[in-house]
Amino acid sequence: MTRLYERVALIGLGLIASSMAHGMRGRGLAGEIVGTARSPETRAIAAGDGLVDRVTETAAEAVQGADLVVLAAPVGVMGSIAEEIAPHLARGATVTDVGSVKRAVVTDVGPHIPDGVTFIPGHPLAGTEHSGPRSGFAELFENRWCLLLPDENTDPAALARLRQLWEALGSNVDLMDPDHHDLVLAVTSHTPHLIAYTMVGVADDLRRVTDSEVIKYSAAGFRDFTRIAASDPVMWRDVFLTNKDATLEILGRFTEELFALQRAIRTGDGAQLEAYFARTRAIRRGIIEAGQDTEAPDFGRGSVKR
Amino acid sequence: MTRLYERVALIGLGLIASSMAHGMRGRGLAGEIVGTARSPETRAIAAGDGLVDRVTETAAEAVQGADLVVLAAPVGVMGSIAEEIAPHLARGATVTDVGSVKRAVVTDVGPHIPDGVTFIPGHPLAGTEHSGPRSGFAELFENRWCLLLPDENTDPAALARLRQLWEALGSNVDLMDPDHHDLVLAVTSHTPHLIAYTMVGVADDLRRVTDSEVIKYSAAGFRDFTRIAASDPVMWRDVFLTNKDATLEILGRFTEELFALQRAIRTGDGAQLEAYFARTRAIRRGIIEAGQDTEAPDFGRGSVKR
């Protein structure tokens, strides 16, 4: 494939950045890939594994001469990284990010971006429950949506090139505005994660049901929640702190509905329960038809052998 | 393998019963397998596919001469089935069930069981989001737990034989009492299902986020909820109607915790959120080590191609 950028700087080397590194390298999309991370341990692993071409100690060093800078750190530190790298950004560079919340990133990062540099917020809707520099793989973005959030001043050529990068990594690209993004993701990601964390926490806390029982008998539904609740705690802390309004709005809707179903259980209203449970199948069908999940029973994982 | 029963009657021919049929047949565990279902369509499919050796129109016919009768219908109709088959049960037969709730089954079925017949409630903790006579497969029970719920009067020989059947189908067998079963399952299955149904219902209802957006961007977490929420509506209606107390208890704990996290989001208490999210990883590790889920990222489903 065509080389799209001469030097890409990855700020943060977790699941998303390491997957981008593998993907860009395998497809020859970048001349040089430079990476940095706040933790010395992560930097040492990345250097030892040869995850990127060059590991730097600071973000300021990493971005020097880069024509693409990818902020791939928790949303809560994006602003301070932007402040640190701003004086070192090359004229004509594009800065993007991969954070799960977008309004906060626009607010925190935007003001630091110097003239002559284009900032295009982004969010690849891809991930697994694993994290860290060794969790990445080149195929992570294949057939997944990546949202880009340009504004009316965004340089069209810079946007087209970034779009090409994500498409070359296998993604489908859509454009969206930050507030709508944050609401959509509150529905498709943030609230489900909070609920999963809560359910796993409840199970872990109960005195009358042991952890060993929860673990042995988890195949009845609970284990799916534990996968989601195994995601990176710091990343998720920042998601909820920075997408507060939309998450609280969707949580409010969720508890309202849950209370209605709880009342139906208490009063024995079988018709209401059955009607509610019947209508949710259509959306599953839509997801499978859109190629966003497998039709195979139980995600195709079958029986798990030791 | 050894033939364990001469004639097995399956009352209901959905996911569990059809999986039992495939499993028993492949392993030669039953001399003859007779099946029936309330819906003429299900009976026609089962007969046409040769799912069982013989399809009968009524449960009363099906159980004649059977040394094992498996009640595999929604929990809400178990009592009336027991009443119907009682006069036709062979002396020495064992009756079991596969319902997801056990106290209600003990109460509804127990009184109809005649002298000389042993009733041993059971619950294989296995399933997929699919249902119906064509959804079964022989491997469904492999490495899954099956709970049996004998009481102090249960014939030990009948229990040993039923245990052998489940073990021959690949399950691990544990014994439990009905009330504890219903509490454990409220945690590992019933409450998670209710929550998943609720979250999918909320997403489907929102005006400001379209169904098409929910479907396209579901890979960020939501799609896992839709799998659980695609399960059989009638089965789940009956679960909640018959395991009311334990479900309401666990739901109460769940909403209490959810409100505490919601408050932490509202007040910006990052430390509380991070601490909560960090402790839930251990239980996931336990589930993988116990062989109850795969360690592969994202359940190993990888990217989904059209």
Quick one: average pLDDT of B21-27?
97
C-beta atoms surrounding A58 within 10 Å: 13
pLDDT tops 50 at residue A305: no
Tell me which of B259, B287, B295, B305 to substitute to probe the interface with A (most A C-beta atoms closer than 10 Å).
Answer: B287
- Minimal Cβ distance to A286: which of B183, B215, B233: B215
* ipTM score of complex: 0.92
Quick one: average pLDDT of A71-87?
97
Mean pLDDT of chain A: 95
Residues B12 and B129 sit within 8 Å (Cβ to Cβ): no
- Minimal Cβ distance to B294: which of A211, A281, A304: A304
Give the DSSP H or E segment for B5. Answer: strand B5-11
Separation of alpha carbons B265 and A167, rounded Å: 35
Give the DSSP H or E segment for B19. Answer: helix B15-27
Separation of alpha carbons B254 and B240, rounded Å: 16
A304 pLDDT tier (thresholds 50, 70, 90): low
Over residues A259-285, the pLDDT tens digits come to: 999 999 999 999 999 999 998 888 898
Separation of alpha carbons A197 and B276, rounded Å: 8
Strand partners, B151: none
Contacting residues of B for A294, CB less than 8 Å apart: 301, 304
What pLDDT, on the 0 to 100 scale, is given for residue B305?
A: 47
State how beta strands B122-124 and B145-148 pair: antiparallel
Interface contact B283-A204, CB threshold 8 A:
yes
pLDDT tops 90 at residue A23: yes
Over residues B124-180, the pLDDT tens digits come to: 999 999 999 999 999 999 999 999 999 999 999 999 999 999 999 999 999 999 999
Q: How far apart are the first and last CA of chain B?
A: 41
pLDDT tops 90 at residue B1: no
State how beta strands B5-11 and A172-175 pair: unpaired
Contacts of A96 (CB under 8 A, 6+ apart): A68, A69, A70, A71, A119, A120, A121, A122, A148, A162
Tell me which of B273, B285, B289, B306 to substitute to probe the interface with A (most A C-beta atoms closer than 10 Å).
Answer: B273
SS3 A206: coil
Mean pLDDT of chain B: 95
Over residues A213-222, the pLDDT tens digits come to: 999 999 888 9
Amino acid identity of residue A2, one-letter, is T
**Min distance B43 CA to chain A CA atoms (Å):** 23
B282 pLDDT tier (thresholds 50, 70, 90): confident
Residues A214 and B187 sit within 8 Å (Cβ to Cβ): yes
Contacts of B157 (CB under 8 A, 6+ apart): none
What pLDDT, on the 0 to 100 scale, is given for residue B86?
A: 98
CA dihedral B146, B152, B154, B160 (to 10 degrees): 50
Which domains are assigned to chain A? 5-176 (3.40.50.720), 180-300 (1.10.3660.10)
Residues A11 and A112 sit within 8 Å (Cβ to Cβ): no
Separation of alpha carbons A238 and A240, rounded Å: 5
SS3 A131: coil
Over residues A97-108, the pLDDT tens digits come to: 999 999 999 999
DSSP conformation letters of B112-143: GPPTT-EEE-EEE----S--STTS--GGGGTT
**Min distance A165 CA to chain B CA atoms (Å):** 18
Separation of alpha carbons B138 and B26, rounded Å: 8
B303 pLDDT tier (thresholds 50, 70, 90): low
CA dihedral A180, A182, A184, A189 (to 10 degrees): 170
A248 pLDDT tier (thresholds 50, 70, 90): very high
Strands (E) across chain A are located at 5-11, 30-36, 54-55, 68-71, 94-97, 118-120, 122-124, 145-148, 172-175
DSSP conformation letters of B37-92: -SSHHHHHHHHHHT-SSEE-SSHHHHTTT-SEEEE-S-GGGHHHHHHHHGGGPPTT
**Min distance B118 CA to chain A CA atoms (Å):** 26
Q: Residue B173: phi, psi to the nearest 5?
A: -110, 135
Interface contact A213-B247, CB threshold 8 A:
no
pLDDT tops 80 at residue A181: yes
A138 pLDDT tier (thresholds 50, 70, 90): very high
Quick one: average pLDDT of A217-244?
93
Interface contact A303-B142, CB threshold 8 A:
yes
Quick one: average pLDDT of B108-123?
98
**Min distance B67 CA to chain A CA atoms (Å):** 29
What pLDDT, on the 0 to 100 scale, is given for residue B304?
A: 52
**Min distance A107 CA to chain B CA atoms (Å):** 18
What pLDDT, on the 0 to 100 scale, is given for residue A38?
A: 96
- Minimal Cβ distance to A217: which of B184, B221, B270: B184
Number of H helices, E strands in chain A: 14, 9
Residues B261 and A251 sit within 8 Å (Cβ to Cβ): no
Over residues B44-85, the pLDDT tens digits come to: 999 999 999 999 999 999 999 999 999 999 999 999 999 999
Q: Where are the alpha helices (DSSP H) in B206-243?
A: 211-216, 222-228, 233-242
Provide the b/e sequence for B57-92 (b: ≥16 CB within 10 Å).
eebbebbeebbbbbbbbbbbbbbebbebbbebbbee
Interface contact B143-A300, CB threshold 8 A:
no
What pLDDT, on the 0 to 100 scale, is given for residue B302?
A: 61
pLDDT tops 80 at residue A1: no
